[in-house]
A and B are shown apart, each in its own frame.
Chain A
Amino acid sequence: MTALLEIRNADVSYGKTPILKGINLAVTAGSVCVLLGANGAGKTTTLRTISNLMVQTRGEVWFSGQRIERKSTDLIARLGIAHVPDGRGTLTHLTVEENLRLGAYTRRDPAGVEADYERIYQYFPVLKRRLHQQAGTLSGGEQQMLAIGRALMSGPKLLLLDEPSFGLAPLIVREIFEILAQIKQDENMSMLIVEQNAAIALRVADHAYLIETGEIVMGGPPAHFLDDAAVRRSYLGY
């Protein structure tokens, strides 16, 4: 099976501080891959490495059969990687509608874009009701939905989601993960999700990795994680 995305031997540092040490990670087309880990383990940095938002990177990043680690961030987005950053990256001054329209910036098929608005309102009906509201006034959960909607508007091959549960009430977290599972089922969308909330993330995952202080220490199907006593104690709390 060939991977849609593959990171090979990535070393990444901030100044002299190494953050990622020899990371290897692959996402198969049509699958949901979850990267688990504690605060500061290097999860966000891994996603930022893929989008080339880091300054010092060694190693290779492959996407759809080509190397992308030297390409600019906007070009990587154009290739079909939609990255929902940590903190959701809401364009707070713009309206909800403008945020979604911006998501389709690289597209040249107006009919397809129009159809995608409707598709996104089906996943997130609340966005349709808030269409002309300034995005900064949305609740945290609504902003997360808007961020995912904006990413979908680009018609991506791969979704990168950085901590979609961040700062949200448990009920909203569950709703968002249910929608993500729905998107995967409806569209066979490939995703790489970074999460601290291991329990809920493992429910949607086809494959998972565990990262600790910049190194991948474990990888395999979700059941493998659920059966591991150490993982259960440290990350699942039972």
Chain B
Amino acid sequence: MNEFLHQLASGVASGFIYASLALALVMIYQSTNHINFAQGELATFTTYIALALINLGLSYWLAFALTLVISFALGFVIDQVILRPVARAPVVSIVIVFVGLYVILNSLSGFFFGYVTRTFPGPFPDSWSNPFLSAQEIGMILVTVVMLLGVFVFFRYTTLGLAMRAAAQNPVSSQLVGVPVKRLIALGWGLAGTIGAIAGMLTAPIIFLDPNMMSGILLYGFAAALLGGINNPAGAVPGGIIVGVVENLTGAYVIGPELKLTVALVLILGVLLVRPSGLFGHVIVTRV
């Protein structure tokens, strides 16, 4: 029984890691209508920047704050320099751009910071630990819940969030009511970069930092976002928890740890087949 509870707790903790990355995916999707395959690598890259700042002698929280600013700027620049030129391109071209971005960011992390696995400091005091969850896992869960609330409130209740959703869905109509569409897309990228950086910096103390840190997590993050409903930020956390728990329990008791990643793919496939809008997503109905 105790063993089962441990597996469950560790599943929940992983679930929140997936949820935090899923939130960044939802952010980009809501503001640009695209799935950013490079989101995980962007998070890893910015986590390395945080580590470099800490190694320069900055305090943890100063490095944390600076990294958020840098990540916002990086997201913004990626939109302006890389995505703006292909804004009118067909969706396949944009997917290819994202895949290219994935490879480039992954290689840059390795090139600048090396492929050795490193430890990353955790900000939360060890006294928070309990038999089931480490202090870093508990802190990560708390921060993710706060981020979720922030993103949810932003899209649901603020005019800026509404304008961002509108700009992603129908840029022309949005411009015609005065929404500065290009600026809002860049803002969406900046915010997604920031959320991704938080996800990276809180994940790294738990699973260690290496250039491929987020590769697997991105798949689980997709599964979490799809399961929760890609157009509903509030779905990302339950989506993440379900993916984390199912993955951990099946890994421990059914299929063994080697096949764990398959769980994410099966979940993605299952959601797309059975309920494409996800558990908590809005079904989009259109008259033609």
Contacts and interface: CB of A to CB of B under 8 A. Distances in A.
Interface string A78-116: 100011110001111110001001110110000000000
Contacts of A84: 176
Residue of A53, A75, A93, A151 with highest tally of chain B CB at under 10 A: A93
Contact of A91 (B169, B175, B231): B169
Contacts of A136: 284-287
Interface residues of A, number: 34
A94 B287 contact: no
A9 interface: no
Interface stretch (B128-136, B160-168, B220-228, B267-275): B160-168
Contacts of A13: none
Contacts of A24: none
Contacts, number: 88
Contact of A77 (B166, B175, B287): B175
Contacts of A103: 177
A154 interface: yes
| Chain A facing B: main interface SS | mixed
Nearest to B170: A91
A85 B178 contact: no
A233 to B, nearest CB: 35
A74 B166 contact: no
Contact of B180 (A74, A92, A98, A153): A74
B194 to A, nearest CB: 24
A150 interface: yes
A98 B178 contact: no
A138 B286 CA distance: 9
Interface in B175-211: 175-181
Contacts of A28: none
A74 B175 contact: yes
B119 interface: no
B166 A137 contact: no
Given A101-B162, A102-B162, A102-B174, A74 B169 contact: no
Interface string A124-165: 000000000010111110000000001101100000000000
Interface of B: 159, 162-163, 165-166, 169-170, 172-181, 231, 282, 284-287
Interface of A: 51, 53, 72-75, 77-78, 82-85, 89-94, 98, 101-103, 105-106, 134, 136-140, 150-151, 153-154
The 4 closest A-B pairs by CB, nearest first: A89-B173, A77-B178, A106-B178, A73-B175
